[in-house]
Amino acid sequence: MGPFEYRDHELHCEGVALAKIAEEVGTPVYVYSRGEIERAYRAFDAALEGIPHEICYAVKANSTLGVLGVLVQLGAGADIVSIGEMYRWLRAGGDPAHVVFSGVGKTETEMKTALGAGIGAFNVESGEELTVLDRVAQSAGKRARVSIRVNPDVDAETHPYISTGLKTNKFGVTMGEARELFRSAAKMRGIEVVGVDCHIGSQLTKTSPFTDAIARLVELVQQLAKDGVKLRHVDIGGGLGIDYGKGETIPTPAEYGMAVRTALKPLTSLGITLFTEPGRVLVGQAGALVTRVLYRKHNEAKHFTIVDAAMNDLMRPALYGSFHPIDPVENPDRPKITTDVVGPICETGDFFARDRSLPALEPGELVSIGACGAYGSAMASNYNTRPRAPEVLVSGSSFTVIRTRETYEQLVANERLG
């Protein structure tokens, strides 16, 4: 039973009818289940029980303050990729000491700000970045805690745009470079080496790429121990996939935990803490995008259902050809037709489903696009001057608007006639 289920033929999020939210807040609207975020976090945490670990939620997956607040309350740390994300995390009440800062292109200003806030660690991705961070830290009279991101060159077997652990990708340093870089980092006055890090990709549907990557990290940690470089943590990134209803089998957090535990065994005696950076698996299933059908049209080749949400609200289908489950909010048991579900934007890429078998949808009725909690609102834009959709957090039988719909005034607030 997921957080979104039918009660008397009406789709609910926890105890609230989606129709009620749409009526009060309008459409399109993102709806999240607090209970599902809590369940997912606890399941992930429980899967790593027995291994000293920190869960650094990947803020990029969903960075809305109201969602971050739930993760803060659960005791999560954060994986950030910009100072903007740190700002949000701190605004949500997050602890800077449990922040790791990833990304291949941190600016000096970002480094200074993060050092000033006292973040837990920088995930450094190149020799040049390390040199700059050393200089920035020394001139601030500080030492930056550093974990070096290695590129283990394993195939995550996911969409090429979200695969990051191959040597053809821009991320991390090669295994060959890593040992030397660690040794020189250990001598830098502005740097305190604390860990090693990798992230091989997102929406992984197998555990073997994780265990292959960990095996490489383990080997490196052991070599470094011999070199006299003692690490405190191993960060294996995020990446565990979720079920988008397409029929894939996804490892459960428990299966993932088991695989990780086995792969890390050789390091037990070194007293290492495991860091993880999950995003999608914590928030993905908790969200839906609720939209209203505007029109239908058909020709000899196709049937189209045109809804009021568009690719600016949810980019994943347009960008990756991703599959999201789609359900009518009322009366799901109707004869089905094959249709494309599309938005109002002037691009052929503006679709949510193609040739999908769905109950024949009527103008005016509501539709729920599922598994939108991760990389939905966070990737939304104002393309076609469409205000970003409001977001609602449901808890039991009540809901809170955690972000209101943008106004046209806000859209032009920073602009001037030239």
Measured distance CA(60)–CA(80) in Å, rounded: 7
What are the residue ranges of helices labelled H in 269-363? Answer: 280-283, 316-320
Window contacting ligand LLP (CB under 6 A); options: 109-117, 199-207, 258-266, 364-372: 199-207
Q: Which is nearer to ligand LLP, 239 or 251 (CB)?
A: 239
Radius of gyration of the chain (CA): 23
12 lines the binding site for ligand LLP (CB under 6 A): no
238 alpha carbon, distance to own chain's centre: 8
Q: Which of 172, 278, 317, 370 binds ligand LLP (CB under 6 A)?
A: 278
Q: Is 203 in the site for ligand LLP (CB under 6 A)?
A: yes
Give yes or no for residue 316 binding ligand LLP (CB under 6 A).
yes
Helix (H), strand (E) at residue 181: helix 175-185
Closest separation in Å from C-beta 266 to ligand LLP:
24
> Which residues from 363-382 bind ligand LLP, rule CB under 6 A?
374-375
Total residues at the site for ligand LLP (CB under 6 A)?
A: 20
Contact letters for ligand LLP, residues 59-78 (x by CB under 6 A)? --x-----------------
Of residues 145 and 199, the one with the C-beta less far from ligand LLP: 199
Q: Which stretch binds ligand LLP (CB under 6 A): 135-143, 182-190, 207-215, 235-243?
A: 235-243
Cβ-based neighbour number of residue 171 at 10 Å: 23
Query: Quick one: which segment of 23-31, 86-94, 105-113, 278-286 binds ligand LLP (CB under 6 A)?
Result: 278-286
**Pick from 165, 238, 287, 359: which binds ligand LLP (CB under 6 A)?**
238
Q: How far is the CB of 408 from ligand LLP (least distance, A)?
A: 28
Backbone angles phi, psi at 265, to 5 degrees: -45, -45
Long-range contacts, stretch 183-187, CB < 8 angstroms, 24+ apart = 183/227, 183/229, 184/130, 185/124, 185/130, 185/146, 185/148, 186/228, 186/229
* Contact call for residue 126 and ligand LLP (CB under 6 A): no
**Min separation Cβ 116 and ligand LLP, Å:** 22
**DSSP 3-state of 145:** strand
Collapse the DSSP code of 363 into the 3-class scheme (helix H, G, I; strand E, B; otherwise coil) and give the result: coil
Binders of ligand LLP among residues 90 to 109 (CB under 6 A) are 102
CB atoms within 10 A of CB 379: 17
56 is catalytic: no
* Chain residues 156-185 in contact with ligand LLP, contact rule CB under 6 A: 162
Residue 403 CB contacts under 8 Å (≥ 6 apart), including other chains: 64, 65, 66, 377, 388, 390, 391
**Is residue 28 involved in binding ligand LLP (CB under 6 A)?**
no
Give catalytic residue positions: 346
